[in-house]
Structure formats: structure tokens, C-alpha cells
Amino acid sequence: MSELSLEPLRADMLQAMRRLARSVTVISCCDGERRYSMSATAVDSLSTEPPSLLICINRSSSIYPPLAAGADFCVNLLAAQQQGIAIDCSGRLKGEDRFSTGDWQRSVDGVPYLHGAQANLVCRQDGRFDYGTHTVFIGRLLEVKLSGEIDPLLYVDGAYTTAGTAATAAASAALARCATA
Ligand SMILES: Cc1cc2nc3c(=O)[nH]c(=O)nc-3n(C[C@H](O)[C@H](O)[C@H](O)COP(=O)(O)O)c2cc1C
């Protein structure tokens, strides 16, 4: 297929992906000197045998070089009230400034993690492969920290939301339908 004939398929895919609700995470790592972080939703559990995750990273992003050099990383699952950090780490702030909001600490293995996120999954890098514009990095779990109640920050239809907001909106819509029936 030519590049041109792929355009409608790309547009359809983007529309479809707007309907895929995802939990928002921030990936963090360091190269010994500097810390790096980036908001990401292309993240998933890979296996529990061994406990492992995968993350999909655009090779044009600033966190790619340290990951390509083999850095271990942390997947920080953001809580509902951490939308500001998601915005900071997806472009509003750059470089070290991304660590100016939130309580960033270091794991025993020296990996930066966001204290107070829903969960911190600290991983040793254990494999990778390139596909298109992205590299899929596999992380083997070293450590998990949990914090607070389950109340994740979600991203759906190109916007941030929370499970509570989505449930309230669905209930209001159902009530409105009943009222007009
Ligand atoms: C909700 C959301 C999810 C994102 N998920 C990913 C992702 O999974 N992988 C990725 O490479 N970029 C993802 N991005 C884009 C990066 O966060 C953004 O391009 C980042 O600013 C690039 O990093 P840089 O500014 O450090 O180069 C996402 C952005 C947003 C807003």
C-alpha cells in the first residue's frame, strides 16, 4: 500500500483510539546525571511470569535516548488529581523542570519515582524492539509501591477524565433519556 492510500486508515484508527479509555502514566528514568519523564498511555502489563510490563516510546521523545542506552525505568500510574503532572510531562514543561511539581523520590535502585502516584512500578529494562516510529521497551519488575484508594486519571476522546466523572456523566445522560422518553 502507498503512503497516500494509508491516510484514510490512519484517520479511522485515530477516531477509533479516541474510544479506547486508558489510564495515564508518567514514565521516569535517569542516566546517572539527569532525570527524564514523559506522560504515556501506551503501557500495559506483559506477564506475571515473570512480572513484567511494556511501554511504547516514540523515538523522537526526550526520554528515548536514556532508555535506548539501557536505563531502568518506573511506570507511575497517575491518580485522578494529578492531571497537572500529566500535562507538565507531555510538553508544558521540559527536562528537569518536569520534576518541579510532585514529590519525586529515588527507588533503592536509583530510579526516580513519583511518590503519591496510584502505583509506582520500578522496572529493570529487559528487552526492546523497534516498530515504526516507536520502540517497545520491556521492563522486568523490581519493586511495586501502592498509594491511596483506586482512583486513576483516565484519558479518553482526547481529554482527561476520572472514573467518578465518567460515571456521573453516564448517569446524567441516562436520567436525561428517561426524562424525554
Ligand atoms: C495522554 C497522553 C498519552 C501519551 N502517551 C504516549 C505514549 O504512550 N508514548 C509516547 O511516546 N508518547 C506519548 N505521549 C506523548 C508524549 O507525552 C509527548 O510527546 C512528550 O511531550 C514528548 O516528550 P518530550 O517533550 O520530552 O520530547 C502521550 C501524550 C499524552 C498527552
State residue 140 phi and psi, 5-degree precision.
-95, 125
Taking CA atoms only, the protein residue closest to ligand 1 atom 28 is 40
- Separation of 171 CA from ligand 1 center, angstroms? 31
* Of residues 64, 56, 53, 62, the one with CA closest to residue 142: 53
Distance, CA 61 to ligand 1 centroid (Å)? 7
CA of 178 to the centre of ligand 1 (A): 40
Distances (CA, A) of 51 to 42, 89, 123: 18, 26, 10
**Residue ID of nearest Cα to ligand 1 atom 16:** 90
Q: What band does 120 get if pLDDT is binned at 50, 70 and 90?
A: very high
The answer to whether the CB of 57 is under 6 A from ligand 1 is: yes
Nearest to 55 by CA among 72, 35, 69: 72
As beta bridge partners, residue 181 has: none
Q: Give tens-digit pLDDT for 122-170.
A: 999 999 999 999 999 999 999 999 999 999 999 999 999 999 877 777 7
For the segment 64-83, the average pLDDT, to the nearest whole number, is: 98
159-167: Cβ within 8 A, 24+ apart: 160/24, 160/83, 160/86, 162/80, 163/80, 164/80, 166/21
Q: Is 99 helix (H, G, I), strand (E, B) or coil?
A: helix
Query: Does ligand 1 lie within 6 Å of residue 61's CB atom?
Result: yes
Indicate the range of 6-20, 75-89, 166-180 predicted with least confidence: 166-180
Give 27-69 pLDDT, tens digit per residue.
999 998 899 999 999 999 999 999 999 999 999 999 999 999 9
pLDDT of residue 1: 65
Cell of 24: 495515564
SS3 153: strand
| Of 92-96, 117-121, 140-144, 176-180, minimum mean pLDDT range | 176-180
Residue owning the nearest CA to atom 4 of ligand 1: 40
Q: What is the pTM of this model?
A: 0.93
- Per-residue pLDDT at 168: 73
Residue 171 reports pLDDT greater than 80: no
**135, amino acid identity:** T
Centre of ligand 1 from the C-alpha of residue 7, in Å: 22
Tell which CATH classification among 1.20.1250.20, 2.30.110.10, 3.40.630.10, 2.30.38.10 matches the domain 21-180.
2.30.110.10
